[in-house]
Amino acid sequence: MSNLSKDLTPRLTGVRNGSKHAGLNPHVCVCERWFFDFARHSQSWYNGTMLKIIIALILIFVALGAMYRYIGVPKIYSEEYAELPTAHSYGDPTRAISEISINAFYFVPQNRAENIVPNWREILENNLQKLQEFHSVQFLGRSRVTYRIYPQPIIGFRDGILYDTEDTGGGNPQALRRVSEEIEKRVFDPKGDLYMTDFDVVQSGTYPVLAIMYEGVGSIGGVIYESKFELAGDIAKALGLPDGSIFIVNVESADGFFLVNKLCLEEQERCEMGGPALFAHEFYHTIGISDEYDGELQTSSDIMGSGRFKRLEETYLNKKTVRKLGL
């Protein structure tokens, strides 16, 4: 196009600069010839290209027709998903655990108040957070743990021996029973000296759990059942559990509770087993999961068996257990 312009420009200039008609016609004839030549060429190019496009479109439609005839077209079906069953406590579909709310405390017997460390809240929260993450993964998001931490350490009314007794074997169940009853009276009863309205509210539809970081020995957890029986032996028989595993407690604010020695939560190395894996192991007793070991015999490699000695990130809940939890 630029070559044509160069050729045409002097001729057209000549027309403008000459007299009105002088030399006009011959120049116009040259231009017209060029124009008609160009138009003729353009027309044949246009016709050729259009023909190719039309042939290409015909081939495409023939190909689509063949595909429709011999292959068919995808059909989309919509189908209702079967509703997933609700996660529940171990072997008990009547106790939903889709939402678990933990009320967490740092409890210190009166004669051990000097052992309180300034970062106690950080230690407790670190264990709660790791439990929350682990639980979410193990339950595929079908059960959620939330927590709140009572804002100050609770200094007990009594000295350590009166919570622990002489026998702290079996994880120190007496401390769990006595400490949780004291927390119940002081924090959850409106007449209690540490009563707080925030901690009074148990949201409906949640499974409430009491978590105790204890300034003393112990690591134990369990479910709290309502029972029409008064004697531990009768309750054990009704629940199909061994006699020694039943303790009668007066705790209304929780359906499950657990207690762990603070030293074991500070650093894993401080105890034979410890840290967030121990915290989570005891927590899982609060929804009814039993130990997977008997003395030295480990019956599972998961967190309820030998996995409790590992870091929490390296362990899991086994398939047999999660099936009993509605997963």
The binding site for Zn ion (CB under 5 A) comprises: 291
Q: At closest approach, how far in Å is the CB of 220 from Zn ion?
A: 7
From the CA atom positions of the chain, what is the Rg in Å? 41
Give the side-chain half-sphere CA count within 13 A for 23: 10
Q: At closest approach, how far in Å is the CB of 281 from Zn ion?
A: 6
CA-to-CA distance for 98 and 111, rounded, in angstroms?
Answer: 40
Q: Are 104 and 120 in contact (CB under 8 A)?
A: no
Q: At closest approach, how far in Å is the CB of 241 from Zn ion?
A: 14
Q: Are 272 and 233 in contact (CB under 8 A)?
A: no
* Burial class of residue 88 (count of CB atoms within 10 Å of its CB; 0-12, 13-18, 19+): buried
Q: Smaller CB distance to Zn ion: residue 92 or 291?
A: 291
Q: Smaller CB distance to Zn ion: residue 150 or 257?
A: 257
CA-to-CA distance for 156 and 285, rounded, in angstroms?
Answer: 25
Q: Smaller CB distance to Zn ion: residue 150 or 268?
A: 268
Q: Smaller CB distance to Zn ion: residue 143 or 300?
A: 300
Q: Smaller CB distance to Zn ion: residue 160 or 305?
A: 305
Q: At closest approach, how far in Å is the CB of 196 from Zn ion?
A: 31
Task: Extract long-range pairs of 236-245: CB within 8 Å, 24+ residues apart.
Answer: 244/170
Q: At closest approach, how far in Å is the CB of 145 from Zn ion?
A: 18
Q: At closest approach, how far in Å is the CB of 218 from Zn ion?
A: 12
CA-to-CA distance for 174 and 171, rounded, in angstroms?
Answer: 9
Q: At closest approach, how far in Å is the CB of 282 from Zn ion?
A: 6
Q: Smaller CB distance to Zn ion: residue 154 or 174?
A: 174
**What phi and psi, each to the nearest 5 degrees, are found at residue 52?**
-65, -40
Q: Which two tokens stand for residue 16?
A: 């403008």
CA-to-CA distance for 140 and 103, rounded, in angstroms?
Answer: 23
What residue has token string 């009768």? 234
Q: Smaller CB distance to Zn ion: residue 180 or 219?
A: 219
In sequence order, what are the beta bridge partners of 207?
100
